[in-house]
Amino acid sequence: MDFNNINEIRKAGFTGFKKMSELFNDSSSVPKIKGVYLVLNPNFNEPEYLEIGTGGHFKGKNPNVSLGELKLNWVDNSLVLYIGKAGSKAGRATLNSRLKQYFGFGQGKKIGHWGGRLIWQLRNSTDLIVCWKSLPNDDPRAFESQLIKNFMIKFSKRPFSNLIN
């Protein structure tokens, strides 16, 4: 899959392609099934970082990182900023429930969605695009892992907001 071409991402089975701000207000279009999702920077905008982002402080942990760390994690010329998953072979999480958690965390709620938190230190985070791929018969963890590996082959690093624990 070409990570920098929305048409290719669509051909790979991703749907949705909605602004985060739209999904904050109405996430009913997000399927209630397991799968993977991408957060996209549709115009390849240069980042404007926030020292203090909008992410929630779950269990008292500060979700913010230094501006230097944000700059180190940025991937130039990449449409994809984050690759996430929802569910597992035995888990009951769905794209809808997981993305609701993610958006709640980004709105400052004390929710345990630590992954992808660097997104909330971008000034334009609500303008970013989210798309998803339902995986009713596959393991989202394995699919997410393969997407990250493929991304790393192209860009020599993980997507901006896919941190290593």
The domain locations on the chain are: 6-155
Counting residues of the chain whose pLDDT is more than 90, the rounded percentage is 87
User: What mean pLDDT comes out for the span 44-67?
Assistant: 92
155-to-41, 77, 108 alpha-carbon distances in Å: 16, 9, 31
Tell which residue, 143, 102, 138, has the closest CA to residue 120: 102
Q: How confident is the model at residue 46 (pLDDT cuts 50, 70, 90)?
A: confident
How far is 163 from 56, CA to CA, in rounded Å?
Answer: 17
How far is 26 from 155, CA to CA, in rounded Å?
Answer: 33
> Which residues lie closer than 8 Å to 121 by C-beta, 6 or more apart?
49, 50, 51, 52, 53, 55, 64, 65, 70
- Can you give the pLDDT at residue 121? 97
Average pLDDT, the chain: 94
How far is 78 from 96, CA to CA, in rounded Å?
Answer: 25
- Can you give the pLDDT at residue 115? 85
pTM: 0.95
